Structure 1
Amino acid sequence: MTPIEGAGIGSVVVVGTGLIGTSIALALRQRDLRVFLADRDAGAVRLARELGAGEDWTGTPQVDLAVLAVPPQFVAQQLLDLQKQGSARFYTDVASVKALPLAQAAQLGCDLTTYVAGHPLAGRERSGPAAARADLFLGRPWAYCPTEDAAPEAVAAVRELIDLCGGNAVRVDAGEHDRAVAVVSHAPHVTAAAVAARLAEAPETALGLSGQGVRDVTRIAASDPALWMGILSGNALPVAEVLEAVAADLGAAARSLRALAGDGTAMDQIADLLARGVRGTGRIPGKHGGPARTYAVVQVLIGDRPGELARLVQAAGETGVNIEDIRLEHAPGLPLGAAELYVQPEAAAPLSEALRERGWQVAN
């Protein structure tokens, strides 16, 4: 096939039509690439095709790039099978761990000159092709881990894939990648699951008192356990090291709380942990990258009715204020909630006044 003008890749096969694979396919279709779809689950392929993600792939013709959107433990064998068939000029994957697939690919005798491991750091709690979005990767980090064997053309093809999907390419060593995602993704997921597990048998009174805080902490725990077992087993040691450090902090906090009644200084360790938490949160990059920004919050009460949030966003837009983020908090048992509009600090007062003038109830 002839690549599109001005680009190195014009055709792609996506093997694995789950959330990530289908989202990549949708993004590439928006850029007018020819996309083929393959998956053991014929129903998943059919749904992805109906969503406009591409067309069925029968093994031919050869494409420019094969994207392996399969669990980490299956990447190497899938790569070997495709390379034996001459399916593509270049290959990449999107698994959440990188050292394991690379080691297994080397052991199987895969051609590492045409393969560049990759990992887009984007996702949702929902899985499957129905949850896919063409804009899933916009502005999101996308790690790629070329080995010394990787041909420059293979690296360029993967860089182009990342650009076409709107991701932010980050070149990193495979081992460094796995240690990094253990800190920022894998261990946080296990920690969130541990907190959420406490809710499984919590009394109804506790659940009735739950607010946005517990939802924020446990949100990612709703992801598919089977998917995460594959991820964690592929990055077991780095994740274990982070969890041991977290457990040490939590253990020290628990001991301090037990000793609090008899020793007023016991809270020092907890205060130190909370302060370190604040510093750590402050180091998380902002939505445009770089240092995190501190935003002001304008809280507006809205009815739980169709179109209410859209009306609020339109009203805010009419004021000329840019909304940096929006969060919703529902009021249990009541047909209303609160929309939290995150804006630049200097814009909070003008926005609040303008919304009140338009009839919105803005909290003080």
Structure 2
Amino acid sequence: MSTTGPAALPQPVLVRGTGLLGTSIGLALRGRGVEVLLHDPSPAALAVAQDIGAGRAVDLEGAPAGDDADTPVPGTVVVATPPDVAGRVAVDSLVRWPEAVVMDIASVKASVQAEVRAAVGNGPLTEADASRYVGTHPMAGRERSGPVAARGTLFTAAPWVVCAEEGTSAAAVAAAEALAGSTGATVHTMDAGEHDASVALISHLPQVAASLVASRLQETPAASLALAGNGLRDTTRIAASDPQLWVQILAGNAARLVEILHGVRADLDRLIGTLEAPDAPGARLDIARLIAEGNAGQARIPGKHGAPPQAFAVVTVVVDDAPGQIAAVLQATGDAGVNVEDLRMDHASGHEVGMLEISVLPGRREELAAALTERGWKVV
């Protein structure tokens, strides 16, 4: 057993599933000197994950737990499979390795937890076995999927939720927190039901909304799409996500999401009714209220580093579409002694220039605008 890495994380760590998240976990742990074993039903995915350095591929099929000298005996098993099989694989792992801590990283928790609980008493698990299981969920991802999209830094500063039950052992909780910490994530604790309700609103609803908006673009003339700016791109960015994965996520958390969608439908019905008679008394006020309600909700989203929301001023600079332009503007901003709070780029339609939007503290806006203008940059 390896002695490197965090002491609370029993090693070696076996990652069952070498998609984006599983492979990224392997890369992050390997960067901390942790011994990582990899398994996946797909030989191609497994080979890619091993080739990029996420760990050592092992063959588990048909191997008895610890009886064969060539069979790895993991101290921790991370179930990184799709949500619809995560519970079954977690139960299998608890049976295969009677001393290992087993955790899953599925994006829904109550259904996986229930499947593990169902295997106690009437199935192959004892209460002691189930105590070695803990559900977790790293709140990170990309629009791209598969091991080729994996990054060892994927979880840096991201929330990682640990959903322990009353009977979960302290060692299992410590291992889950150590794993999250080893990837650079920030640990949050909540029960499975609270987790599923939270992600239905802050993750699953945005995905559905983005996909529904983007689906309206399928037959849109190219001339209309040429007018699109960052508003459309921002709104539809996550619509590029993997359909197969989202089928499983949405089905697994359907009850929580449907409740929220009923509320969204009520708001849409209200807006449609108002816009069908936009000149009726009170119609414009109702539209203003709806937008204001959105303002109020958006203002509650945590700001930089998780701090309370803060309004920033924006300095917009026109830059040529050429190498080094963005770096030069940022260097000039640093030379002026102004900190960049946020950054985004909007490309001008029909012109080979971009609009670089630099967010700064309100009191520094005029100072930065003057400094950049003095250095020859065109500030809008």
Q: Is this a same-fold pair by TM over 0.5? A: yes
Distance 1:332 1:6, change over 3 A: closer
After superposition, residues 79-158 of structure 1 pair within 5 angstroms as 79-86=90-97, 89-109=100-120, 110=125, 111-158=129-176
Distance 1:329 1:315, change over 3 A: same
Q: How much has 1:87 moved relative to structure 2?
A: 7.5
Q: Which residue of 1 aligns with 2:49?
A: 48
Aligned equivalent of 1:237, options 255, 273, 282: 255
Is the contact made by 2:164 and 2:173 (CA closer than 8 Å) also made in structure 1? yes
Is the contact made by 1:187 and 1:239 (CA closer than 8 Å) also made in structure 2? yes
Segment of structure 1 superposing worse, 291-300 or 6-15:
6-15
Separation of aligned partners in 2, 1:52 and 1:357: 48
Detail structure 1 runs of 4+ shifted over 6 Å in the superposition: none
Q: Does 1:8 align with 2:4?
A: no
Separation of aligned partners in 2, 1:6 and 1:98: 25
* Residues 303-351 of structure 1: per-residue CA shift (max 9 Å, x gap): 2223332333333233332212211111223211111112222222222
Q: How much has 1:31 moved relative to structure 2?
A: 1.1
* Residues 73-112 of structure 1: per-residue CA shift (max 9 Å, x gap): 1111111222222186101111110001011122233432
Aligned equivalent of 1:174, options 184, 189, 192: 192
Q: Which residue of 1 aligns with 2:37?
A: 36
Q: Does 1:284 align with 2:295?
A: no
Instruction: Look up the SS of the partner of 2:371 in the other structure.
Output: helix
Q: Which residue of 2 aligns with 1:72?
A: 83
Separation of aligned partners in 2, 1:24 and 1:37: 11
Aligned equivalent of 1:315, options 326, 332, 341: 332
- Root-mean-square deviation (Å): 1.7
Segment of structure 1 superposing worse, 82-91 or 25-34:
82-91
Q: How much has 1:5 moved relative to structure 2?
A: 6.7
Gaps of 5+ in 2: 61-70
Tell me the TM-score normalized by structure 2: 0.91
Distance 1:352 1:47, change over 3 A: farther
Instruction: Look up the SS of the partner of 2:267 in the other structure.
Output: helix
Separation of aligned partners in 2, 1:260 and 1:5: 63
Partner AA of 1:7 in structure 2: A
Separation of aligned partners in 2, 1:249 and 1:65: 46
Distance 1:48 1:309, change over 3 A: farther
Instruction: Look up the SS of the partner of 1:259 in the other structure.
Output: coil
Partner AA of 1:331 in structure 2: A
Is the contact made by 2:227 and 2:349 (CA closer than 8 Å) also made in structure 1? no
Q: Which residue of 1 aligns with 2:322?
A: 305
Distance 1:6 1:229, change over 3 A: closer
Q: How much has 1:6 moved relative to structure 2?
A: 5.7
Q: Does 1:343 align with 2:379?
A: no
* Residues 220-272 of structure 1: per-residue CA shift (max 9 Å, x gap): 111011110000000001101111111110110111011113x1411222221
Q: How much has 1:214 moved relative to structure 2?
A: 1.1
Separation of aligned partners in 1, 2:40 and 2:274: 52
Q: Among all aligned residue pairs of Structure 1 and Structure 2, give the percentage whose two residues are the same amino acid.
A: 45
Q: Which residue of 1 aligns with 2:310?
A: 293
Separation of aligned partners in 2, 1:285 and 1:344: 16
Separation of aligned partners in 1, 2:317 and 2:378: 6
Q: Which residue of 1 aligns with 2:221?
A: 203
Is the contact made by 2:74 and 2:97 (CA closer than 8 Å) also made in structure 1? no
Gaps of 5+ in 1: none
Separation of aligned partners in 1, 2:7 and 2:339: 35
Is the contact made by 2:5 and 2:34 (CA closer than 8 Å) also made in structure 1? no
Is the contact made by 1:92 and 1:116 (CA closer than 8 Å) also made in structure 2? yes
